Structures are given as structure tokens and as C-alpha cells.
Amino acid sequence: MVYFIEGALVDLTAIINDLIGRISDLAQARPFIALAALLIVAYLIYRKPLFFFSVFILGLILIGVLYLILSMSAPGVSQKEKLIQKGREPENSFRPPGMIL
């Protein structure tokens, strides 16, 4: 899902809310899979906390890089859409049959 960036805080909140909503939907739809994932995370925190937090920090860094890439590409995407709309023929234009423009 692509988020067009206008305000960084608003979009970050929307992303977090969407993520929490998807996780809660997964937990309600498939409780055994959610319980298994929770047990795996708890086991990794208990037995190998250094590995867990290393992977967690790496994941946060990768999410941050992806967020920066999306925020920098959003103005280009909107500019591209404007150019595409500008190049299209208006819907209410009249073109006689057989006339090639």
C-alpha cells in the first residue's frame, strides 16, 4: 500500500494504525497461528534476547529506510500523475468522425 506523504506524523500514525488493525484481524481470524507466533517471539526473547533485539533493530532500520524512500518518491508520483492528466484529451472535446488528429 502506497502512502502519499503530506505530513510525516499523520502518515506514520496511519501506517501504525493499519499495521495494528491487520495484526488484530489476523489474531481474530487465525488464533492458533497468532498464538504460535507469540510463543516463538516469547521464546526468542527469553532464550536469545541479543538475536531477537538485533533482528528487531534491523527491521526498524529497514522500515525507516523504506519510509524515507516512499516519502522522497511521493512528489515524483504526484508530478507524474499531473503530466499524465495533462496529456489526455478532455472528455468533452468534439472530434468529427473520420478526422485523425
> Is residue 94, in this structure, part of any structural domain at all?
no
pLDDT tens string, the chain, 101 residues long: the values are 444 554 444 566 777 788 889 889 988 999 999 899 899 989 988 999 999 899 999 988 998 888 888 777 767 766 777 777 776 666 666 666 665 55
Residue appearing with cell numbers 488484530: 24
Q: Which residue range is the domain that position 56 belongs to?
A: 17-72
> Is residue 95, in this structure, part of any structural domain at all?
no
> Is residue 90, in this structure, part of any structural domain at all?
no
> Is residue 98, in this structure, part of any structural domain at all?
no
> Is residue 26, in this structure, part of any structural domain at all?
yes
Amino acid at site 7: G
pLDDT score, position 46? 92
Number of domains in the chain: 1
Whole-angstrom distance, CA of residue 52 vs CA of residue 75: 36
pTM of the model: 0.49
